[in-house]
Amino acid sequence: MVPLKRRKVSWTGGASTSDSRDDASKFPQVVLFLLERKMGTSRRIFLTELGRKKGFRVDEVFTENVTHVISEKNSGDEVRGWLSSQGHGSTPAHLVDISWLTESLSAGCPAHILQRHRLTERQTSSRDEAAAFSMPVYACQRRTTLDHRNAVFTEALSLLAENAELSEDGGRAVAFRRAAATLKAFPEQVTDARQLRGCPCLGRHSLGVIQDILENGTSREVEATRRSERFQALKLLTGIFGVGTKTAAQWFREGIRNLPQLLQSGCALNGAQRAGVAHYDDLTQDVTKAEADVVGRIVEEAVGAELPGARVVLVGGFRRGKPSGHDVDFLITHPQEGREEGLIPKVVARLEARDFLLYHKSSRNSYAEANVAPARPARPARPASSMDHFERCLSIWKVPTPEPHSHRDDAAPRRGECRRWRAARVDLVVCPFSQFAFALLGWTGSKLFERELRRWAAHRKDMSLSSHALYDNKQREFLPAATEEEIFAHLALEYVPPSERNA
């Protein structure tokens, strides 16, 4: 309670001095009263003003007209005790927690009162609060499905992570990604930041964003970032196939903000970038699972014709169950070690002959050159980094579509002409059979799940994990694995299926 000399209104009842009247409220049947006890004056004033902006009637003093008494960190006994001390021994008003108000403000209308909103009869002391929620620290220890209950928070944190990546602030980007991953795995809808006590990877900055959304329905920082000219320009420019953050940042410093300005600038573009600009509209649209399956059948036919018995697996987000993605990735191997070498040029030639490729760039397997030579030639070299060195082809395809597809890219004889294909990114990766389990794990993702696996391996098990191998630094030996399950077992982790790796 604040000193009387600072008060502008009476708190003991009587006529309200509130400037919120029935005719100024969207919901005249709902009258709110915010209890200052434990909430504090400044927070109460802020929430009062915010409630009125959202169309709620918020009275400064308690009267018989009040329908909802809102408090923070109080029990039902404590609120009734306060009301009794002010001469209001009993009231039909609902006694609800602050979480009801934040949900109502977010929804823009009075929320339905659930049991979790009602005040408990006993309020534990601050030293004896409910036990903190227990969640494993590493994302690779958790099961994260595509569906979760906290999209409003994860989307906000992911946007801040993306902005940090565009600013080449890797540390901050990873921090936001880990915070978002924690919320994706959280089993309940977050309506109060106190629910997150004990959850890992939620720093002060991330918690501030969450609290802002809980109180205001949105984060001012996130919205300012979303609207900023720099974020919009860099997001557009890095959306061009073949353009990274450094190149986009340089173009931004030169005053380039969009594709017309880029084309008028006279900047020299490499082959990948020219293809990216030409097919920008198509490449910035997600590829559907149905389209990925069409590509898969074509790839399997081409690979099978060149290397009978080869195995082709759709990886990436599609293997995790996503209905769409920004590209399509295939992992190719053969049970007979060595038969897969030099496969990419043959497959590419076959695809070119069928006019499927709009652009492609191939590279051979460079793993041996990139690492220390192994003690035994039959084993792969020790992983030097998270980057892999498989034989691959990065390409832009003409993906057949069942219906005529309108487009605006430079591949058409006439602008606006319809054709029965769309441009899409497709990556073909070839790996030796002995490394297939590691490649399958690495190329399935998600990116953060894989990062956390490597971090777990290094910090908890003193091992080095990559998409090529798992090396035990203590025993100074490679640990073979024929399946993903065996890799998890080597790492002393419970196996997590692909559909639950969406961290």
The residue from 192, 281, 427, 472 that is catalytic is 427
The residue from 59, 97, 327, 388 that is catalytic is 327
Are 95 and 69 within 8 A, CB to CB? yes
The neighbouring-strand residues paired with 471 are: 464, 478
- Of 66, 125, 70, the C-alpha closest to 92 is 66
DSSP assignment of 325-382 equals ESSEEEEEE-SSTTTTTTHHHHHHHHHHHTT-EEEEEEE---HHHHSPPPSSTTSPPP
- Of 257, 285, 262, the C-alpha closest to 273 is 262
**Residue 286 known to be catalytic:** no
Report the distance separating Cα 85 and Cα 37, nearest Å. 13
Q: Which residue has the tokens 């993605």?
A: 325
CA distances from 334 to 36, 439, 444 (A): 70, 13, 19
Report the distance separating Cα 357 and Cα 349, nearest Å. 10
**Residue 23 known to be catalytic:** no
The residue from 23, 329, 409, 472 that is catalytic is 329
Report the distance separating Cα 309 and Cα 343, nearest Å. 13
Are 287 and 427 within 8 A, CB to CB? no
Q: Any idea which residues carry the catalytic annotation?
A: 327, 329, 427
